[in-house]
Structure 1
Amino acid sequence: MTVPHALLDALVDDAGLFPPTALPMDRAVERHRADAAAGEAMHTHRFLVPASRLGELRSLLRDGEVFELGLIADQDAETLAAACAQILADPRLRLALLEVPLKAFGEDEHTALDAVSATLQDVPSEVPLYAEPVVQAHPEPLLTALAAHAGTRPLGAKLRCGGVRAELFPSVEQVAAFVCACVAAGVPFKATAGLHEAVRHTAPETGFTHHGYLNLLLATATAADGGDEAAVRAVLEIEDGGELARRADTLTGEQAVAARHALVSYGSCSTARPVSEARALLNTPVKEHE
């Protein structure tokens, strides 16, 4: 395989605190330290933490170490503002990005983004913000609101691909529409939840059909290369790992870079599985997880 490294490098955020793995904070911190020492290229080495649990994390950090954080706004504006202030004042922490579910901040995307922007006025403007739409099946209001706030800081969208209930898994039609809308608008996006394996599959323990992270990568590459929603949807529906591997092998370096300009990363509660699956499916020369 000659899969471009650009397709997989810095793809996986550490979401070990989140379901279904939901590690206790001490175990999540130790795993993140081990991953940092291993230096796996597929990892972003960003630790995703809810704003409400920042104090728990800080109590476990050592002097001299630095955790790069993706801060998740899981409560209200006051909690988010306090967490940002603590991060900026703690030399052991670096705020790499923010992820905000807008429905917690307003009834529509415009008012919610206004509220979030006011909350983040003391956060350096180079810190990117990824916003989750109020209604994921309708990303257009989010993209319009992001365009209205352009220039304040790097802005992107957030795509939720699953959860603990069946209704939290978007259809292939919804994912295809989201990806194509973001690519057409030039808005980068992150993904979260449900992307437990590389290939689309049905989990036997729940009966939930999961989107595959490789499906999503290649679907994004298709959209970035001019494919329409039908073409993107067709890639999302592939359940043959060999077919996905063959498609990945045909990507040029430029196509891989274009895909990753659109799909920035995704949060995975397992940091080992994405690496082992890439190694097995794509025969990529990634380092062993330790």
Structure 2
Amino acid sequence: MTAPPRLFLNLFDDAAIFPPGNLGVPEAVQAHRERRSSPLAPLLGPFICSLPRWAELAGTLAGGSPLALALTLPGGTGDVGAAIAHAREEPRVDLVALEVPSSAEGLDDLVTMVDGQVPAAVQTYVELPWADVTAAQVATLTRTGLRLKIRTGGVVATAFPDEPGLAGVLTAAVRGGLAFKLTAGLHDPIRHRDRATGFEHHGFLNVLLATARALDGADVGTVAAALADQDGARVAHAVAGIDDAQAGRIRHHFVSFGTCSTTEPVEGLLHHGLLPEDLR
């Protein structure tokens, strides 16, 4: 079995229970475990669940290895203590990440809360509105060992950052030494307009390439141009030219993205010749 390229290892966090997938928790956990035993396992990140659905999740767990879990906290900072307590009491779960929404004004309180309650082995992603990300916030997150989460899609057009907006976030994160993850709207490798909604979706290959441009010291305009490219063959060719060392630097920053379908991005990579055929 041929190993997948380093650039794509653990790239796809499994958000199958979230819209628009909306798979039931039992079905989603079963499918995730099956993929963990398949050739696609190296591409997968953790299973993502929200804290309000903890009881559903716990009710589906059985034997086998503990489920690597990223837990989203829609209640914000106030949910941190409950999340850690649940995870400590459930040996069938390996809590690897928390994803906590915040605002610029609430960031200091979140930093204090995380520092006092979250074990060092658990990565904390702070979800900020993309338009509010500043160099100062990036510096705070980097200094305190936190990571950034940015929403790149949703059910309304305004949920999708435009190319210059997302380019500004990526450039600030790279220049500030900050790791980040993205979520929503990134099923397809290449930027495109959705035929059903008319929304412009970012492509995850574009984001990888844009991160590479930022690492090369490019300005925001050049990073935005990488995000805007809708020529799949050209983007795939550029991504195929990324060597192993550069892939490591890119993924140090762009850790993963949440997707309600791991099948679609894998099929996209196969379509563009970026994964070995024996992973099909």
Compute the TM-score of the two structures, normalised by the length of structure 2: 0.92
**Structure 1 position 18, deviation (Å):** 1.0
**How many Å separate the matches in 2 of 1:43 and 1:172?**
26
Asked if residue 253 in structure 1 is aligned to residue 244 in structure 2, the reply is yes
**1:53/1:99 Cα in 2 relative to 1: closer, same or farther (>3 Å)?**
same
Matches within 5 A, 1:70-109: 70-103=70-103, 107-109=105-107
SS of 1:251 mapped into structure 2: coil
**Structure 1 position 142, deviation (Å):** 2.4
1:33-75 deviation digits (Å, cap 9, x = unpaired): 1111114155334101111111110001103441000111112
**1:287/1:139 Cα in 2 relative to 1: closer, same or farther (>3 Å)?**
farther
The size of the alignment, in residue pairs, is: 277
**How many Å separate the matches in 1 of 2:277 and 2:164?**
32
The answer on whether the counterparts of 1:35 and 1:45 sit within 8 Å (CA) in structure 2 is: no
The answer on whether the counterparts of 1:88 and 1:94 sit within 8 Å (CA) in structure 2 is: no
**How many Å separate the matches in 2 of 1:240 and 1:58?**
44
**Structure 1 position 222, deviation (Å):** 1.1
Which one of 105, 118, 126 corresponds to residue 121 of structure 2? 126
Which one of 126, 130, 139 corresponds to residue 136 of structure 1? 130
The answer on whether the counterparts of 2:210 and 2:223 sit within 8 Å (CA) in structure 1 is: yes
Asked if residue 266 in structure 1 is aligned to residue 260 in structure 2, the reply is no
**Structure 1 position 129, deviation (Å):** 0.9
**How many Å separate the matches in 2 of 1:126 and 1:66?**
15
In structure 1, runs of 5+ residues without a counterpart are: none
Matches within 5 A, 1:226-237: 226-237=217-228
Code of the residue aligned with 1:223 in structure 2: it is A
The answer on whether the counterparts of 2:35 and 2:41 sit within 8 Å (CA) in structure 1 is: no
**How many Å separate the matches in 1 of 2:20 and 2:176?**
32
Which one of 211, 216, 222 corresponds to residue 220 of structure 1? 211
**How many Å separate the matches in 2 of 1:282 and 1:22?**
29
**Structure 1 position 112, deviation (Å):** 3.7
The answer on whether the counterparts of 1:67 and 1:93 sit within 8 Å (CA) in structure 2 is: yes
Tell me how large the CA RMSD over aligned residues is: 2.0
1:146-189 deviation digits (Å, cap 9, x = unpaired): 24x52xxx421112111111111001011000000000000010
Which sits farther off after the overlay, 20-29 or 42-51? 42-51
**Structure 1 position 209, deviation (Å):** 0.6
Percent of counterpart pairs with the same letter? Answer: 36
Code of the residue aligned with 2:59 in structure 1: it is S
In the TM superposition, structure 1's runs of 4+ consecutive aligned residues that sit over 2 Å from their partners are: 41-45, 76-80, 106-114, 286-289
What is residue 53 of structure 1 aligned with on the other side?
A: 53
Compute the TM-score of the two structures, normalised by the length of structure 1: 0.89
1:230-255 deviation digits (Å, cap 9, x = unpaired): 11111100101100111012222222
Which one of 273, 276, 280 corresponds to residue 285 of structure 1? 276
What is residue 168 of structure 1 aligned with on the other side?
A: 159
The answer on whether the counterparts of 1:9 and 1:42 sit within 8 Å (CA) in structure 2 is: yes
In structure 2, runs of 5+ residues without a counterpart are: none
